[in-house]
Structures are given as structure tokens and as C-alpha cells.
Amino acid sequence: MTEVKHGKILIVDDNEDLLKAAKMFLKRHFAQVDIEKNPEAIPALMNHEDYDVILLDMNFTKDVVSGHEGYRWLEKILEIDPSAVVVLITAYGDVQMAVKAIKAGATDFVLKPWENEKLLATLYSSMRLRETRDEVETLKVKNQEINRELNHRYSEIIGQSSVMQKIFATIDRVAKTDANVLILGENGTGKEMIARAIHKNSARQNQSFVSVDLGSITETLFETELFGHKKGSFTDAKEDRAGRFELANGGTLFLDEIGNLSMPLQAKLLTVLQNRRVSRVGANKETNIDIRLICATNLPLYDMVKENRFRQDLLYRINTIEVNLPALRERFEDIPLLANFFLKQYAEKYGKTVTKISEAALTRMHKHTWPGNIRELQHSVERAVILSTGSVLQPEDFNFNAPTTKEESQINLEQFNLDEVEKLLIRKVLKKYNGNITQAASELGLTRSSLYRRLEKHGL
């Protein structure tokens, strides 16, 4: 069986005969061996290729004995790539020159004429060092990401309603696979928590869970954030940096707010998902990626596809399995469980002696429509705990938005049909955002055009 060759070697020396002989020997052992007699070409070569080891002559024609040129080019190479592995070669080596070369950043030192087997052993050893450096750097960033995730307060998903039991059953079936998952739901329904639960119950649970809020990433930073960059690829790129795809390699990548991506960025994301390879900004080398992809959005992607605002092929790519999270108003029976969970959490956090939520307060909670869903409930309980003066939370401890019109003060949702409830909800959300259509549409989980149609329909 033929051994698979790997590794890229660059040899820079002013002796053409030596270059040809070295290449003839080394190409039998490495995937790529490039030779160059002019050291001035080093920057261009390094920008074009990511070499595992660079063999650099100490003395060129301008200065044949001191090694000053070799030191100068060693410094230049390490300036371009601080993790570069450089082995210096010279016919005039001595112990002092070797020590100086190592102190200057060289990995090793060989003398001309060399023994082929010794040279090969040196290169293999140096290449392993390069691989180790790359692994250490990636692990360092990966561990930072893991530590951030471990410090994230994670709590189990709470819910006994039938609709949540169906969600749990879906998680059980989906988690053990590597299928891409799309989570749909309004703001505050717990989409990221569902994504974490899928990861936690998967075969990748001991690997990274990397979360990316695509809604907060600008167009200009999209590629460097997701795919990484090489040092010097743009003004502020002061060091090599792994992107979120690389950090999630072997684990789970959660792309939140995917509906906010522009069409050009959707195309770039689709290419990576299809090829399963990423290339850092400023690099020619591609890196294979092995991730479990979970996406989420509160936007109506299917409507956006019809309106040519979301790519249909990308939608097919990300939603092998689709999970629709219910709004809190669709799982009212879970409100006492959630409210008491948050009560215990915040009473402990703020050192309060609050131990219970009164029946009157729970009844009032059931009448509230919770447009902000679980997140709104959580904030309401936190505020009530902070401001409470007794051991039992009462309705007056909560800041429920009181109706402001006669029509709203007489509302009982059970007495209205769907159109009337929709009309009321739209009016309340518009009032909340002072008539801002964009914000109101986002809160309602609608597109602007869909909201305009409903406004016309209801004469609002």
C-alpha cells in the first residue's frame, strides 16, 4: 500500500544544484516541495502557500560567512507568520551560530553538506512541531469558547404541557443524529435552550457548542467571524484567528437569527455548508469542517422565500428537521412551573425571603398575553422579587401592562374569534412601538408586507 504523503516544504538557498538535489530527494517523502534561490521572493511565497517547514540558508551571495542575511530573513518570516517553523542551513555553522539561530526563533539547525536521513528526520520532527503548534492554538481558542459556554447559566427546559411534551419527544429522536435542525419561534420562546438541549443529548456533547447571533454581525465582519482570518489580511488582523466554524469543529454550531442574513451572505454560507470546508480570510488553504448545524429564527422564512428575501436552497439545507416552538400564550399551563422556577432563582440571587406566588398573581399571569414570551415572564418575576417587601408575591408586585382604552379594558379572549384577537394584538403591539411598522412586524413574527396586509384587512 502506497504511503500517503503530506506536508509542504519550502527551501530557500542560493545554490541551484543544492536546491535541485534536495527537491529530488524530499519530493519522495512530502506532498509538496518548493525551491527558491532568491530570498526576496519569500513573502510572496508565504502569502500564496501555508508551509509546514521552511528550510532557510544562512548565507546568500551578499554575505557568505556571517549568517546575518539568514537572521534577517528568519525575522521577516516570523513577522509574516509567528507560528512558522524554520530550519536554518549553512556550510559555516558552529555552536555559537546555532544557539543564536535558536534564540532568534529557529526550530533547528543543519549543516551543509547534510546526510539525507538526518535531514529527513529533522524535517519530520519540525513538521510535527508545526502541527502541534496549530493544534495548541486551536485548542486554546476552543477551550476559551468551551469555558464561556460552561459559565453560561444553563437550566433544563421547563414544561409539562402537551405541546412541550411533543418538543421533548422530537429532541429525543433528533439529538442522536447529525441532521441539521431549524428552530422556529417567536422572540423569547427559548430557541437557544432547545439547541443546547439537542447538543447536550447528542454524541457531540463533549465537544464545543458554539453560538453565533447573526443578527449582531455586520456584513463586513461576517466572513472573519464565521470563517476566521490570517494575520495581515486586513488592517486590524494582528494575529491568525479561527472562525466559529473551526471552533465548532467536531461539535455543534448554532446560528441564531439566520433570517437576518442578506442574500449575498446567504450565498457564502450555503457554499460552506455544501462543501464542508472553510477558508480563512487572506488564506489559500481550506480547512475541512465536521459540525452539527442548528439554526433558529423568529422570521417567517417560507414567506421570505416567496418574496425572494431568503434562498430556497439554503432553507432546504438547514431544515432537515424543523422544530416549531410554541408561544407562551399557547402553553399557559406551564406558567406556574416557569414562574416558580424563576422565583427560586432570583430569590437566591438577590438574597430575598420570597417563597411563593399568590393564586391571585398566577390568575393574573394567565390573563396576560405575554408578547415577550418566557423572556418577558422571567423579567417580570425578577422585577417582582427585587421590589417585593413580603414573602408572597401579589398581583401588585408585577408590572402588567394595564389596558388603556375602554375596548381593551373589556377584553376577554375567550369571547372573541381569531380575527378580533388578531386585530387587538396588532393594535397593542403598534402602540408598544409607537406605530413603528418594522419593530411591530418583528415582534409579531411577520414581514412588513404581511403586517401591512393585516392592517388593511382590519382597517387599522
The CATH number of residue 39's host domain is 3.40.50.2300
Say whether both 164 and 295 belong to one domain.
yes
The CATH number of residue 426's host domain is 1.10.10.60
Last residue within a domain, chosen from 324, 356, 377? 324
Last residue within a domain, chosen from 302, 324, 346? 324
Say whether both 182 and 94 belong to one domain.
no
The CATH number of residue 334's host domain is 1.10.8.60
- 202: DSSP letter: S
Q: Give pLDDT, residue 148.
A: 53
Q: Give pLDDT, residue 152.
A: 43
User: Is there a domain that residue 138 lies in?
Assistant: no
Q: Give pLDDT, residue 423.
A: 79
Low-confidence ranges of the chain (pLDDT < 70): 1-4, 61-67, 92-95, 98, 135-156, 401-417, 434, 459-460
291: domain range? Answer: 152-324
Q: Give pLDDT, residue 195.
A: 95
pTM over 0.75: no
Last residue within a domain, chosen from 267, 294, 324? 324
Say whether both 449 and 351 belong to one domain.
no
The CATH number of residue 186's host domain is 3.40.50.300
User: Is there a domain that residue 95 lies in?
Assistant: yes
Percentage of residues in the chain with pLDDT exceeding 70?
86
Say whether both 196 and 305 belong to one domain.
yes
Instruction: Look at the chain and report how many structural domains it folds into.
Output: 4
Say whether both 426 and 359 belong to one domain.
no
Say whether both 283 and 375 belong to one domain.
no
Q: Give pLDDT, residue 144.
A: 58
- DSSP state string for 230-271: -TTSSTT--S-EE-HHHHTTTSEEEEETGGG--HHHHHHHHH
Say whether both 224 and 266 belong to one domain.
yes
Say whether both 413 and 392 belong to one domain.
no
Distance CA 434, CA 26 (A): 72
Give the residues across from 56 on adjacent strands.
12, 88
User: Is there a domain that residue 145 lies in?
Assistant: no
Q: Give pLDDT, residue 399.
A: 79
Give the residues across from 213 on adjacent strands.
256
Q: Give pLDDT, residue 129.
A: 81
